[in-house]
Amino acid sequence: MNDNEQLQHWIDRVDTELVRYFADKDMTCNPLDRAMEYTLLAGGKRLRPLLTMVVVAEYGGDPEAAIPFALASEFLHTYSLIHDDLPCMDDDDMRRGKPTNHIIFGEANAILAGDALHSESFLLLSGAPHPSLSAEKRNQVMVEFCQAVGKRGMVAGQIMDLAQTGKDTSLEHLELLHQRKTGALLRFCVRLGAHLAEVSESDLNALTQFAEKLGLLFQVVDDLLDEESDSATLGKTSGKDAGQDKATFPKIMGSDEAHDYADKLLDEALAALKAVSRPLEYLEEIVRYVRHRDH
């Protein structure tokens, strides 16, 4: 994906605005702020904000106006990473090629940093100005964000994941788990871009189908990378899923079948894009990247 100069430009804009968010508010002097920005500014794919900006741009809108909204998803995603890495959750000591937040700042500060990032994400979404976002549409965005984050989304997926550790599960249950834990926020990010771009209802439906396939694809590839790659490449501890006896797609299906399933999800995501009223070349490039990424 980084070979595409325009996509890389948007990723760089996200990084710049994340740094500025802290600098403008003089948020560099206390332990909470340092813990928040430690993980947030440690890098990452910036896939979630990129999806929002790309959808806006593909429909002729201004991706710059979407940046504050796009940042909210990265704040929320980073909160989830900090909490996922805690000893009481996935108990990991490396993230984005660096020691995890609680290793550096302690568990209490890591929990509070995640809590603060969670709150800031809602502040961004509720207060960011936009030239065409009505109060009614902003309320819809906030409702969808809440659904993606809480007991119908990421949090539900995380508790399902914890409950399934060390147990047998079905493919259907694993798909539901990751539709919530991983897919719900990715789905929101695509739909957020669609709302900001004021797309038609038929295009919104097709983009939603695309996002749902993308979310599952991301997780299948993530499971495969955990099994097949190394820690240095991933920037996090490889082999953790097997070590913790987690329910994964390769565990349930076998590695070859999981690769086939990933290819099928890619085809289905691309087919969903074909149902949209215009070519969406950047989204096509992103979903192909997700299938073939190495970290």
- The residue extents of the domains of the chain are 5-292
Measured between alpha carbons, how far is 245 from 268 in angstroms, rounded to an integer?
A: 30
Torsion of CA 239, 243, 249, 251, to 10 degrees: 120
Residue 27 pLDDT > 60:
no
Residue type, 150: G
pLDDT band, very low/low/confident/very high, at 232 (cuts 50, 70, 90): confident
Residue 233 pLDDT > 80:
no
Residue 24 pLDDT > 70:
no
Q: What angle do CA 289, 180, 190 make, to 5 degrees?
A: 50
Percent share of the chain, pLDDT over 70: 95
CATH fourth-level superfamily of 5-292: Farnesyl Diphosphate Synthase (1.10.600.10)
Highest mean pLDDT among 126-130, 159-163, 266-270: 266-270
Q: What's the pLDDT tens digit per position in 80-125?
A: 999 999 999 989 999 988 999 999 999 999 999 999 999 999 999 9
Q: What's the pLDDT tens digit per position in 195-212?
A: 999 999 999 999 999 999
Mean pLDDT of 263-292: 97
Cβ burial 189-202 (10 Å sphere, 16+ → b, else e) = bbbbbbbbbebeee
Q: So what's the pLDDT on residue 244?
A: 73
Q: So what's the pLDDT on residue 243?
A: 66
Q: Which long-range contacts (CB under 8 A, 24 or more apart) does 123-127 make?
A: 124/68, 124/69, 124/71, 124/72, 124/75, 125/69, 125/72
Residue 2 pLDDT > 70:
no
Mean pLDDT of 225-230: 86
Name residue, tokens 């539900």. 156
Mean pLDDT, the chain, whole residue set: 92
Residue 3 pLDDT > 60:
no
Q: So what's the pLDDT on residue 51?
A: 98
Q: So what's the pLDDT on residue 28?
A: 55
Q: What angle do CA 113, 116, 117 make, to 5 degrees?
A: 85
Percent share of the chain, pLDDT over 90: 78
pTM above 0.85, yes or no: yes
Residue 223 pLDDT > 80:
yes
Residue 29 pLDDT > 70:
no
Q: So what's the pLDDT on residue 10?
A: 96
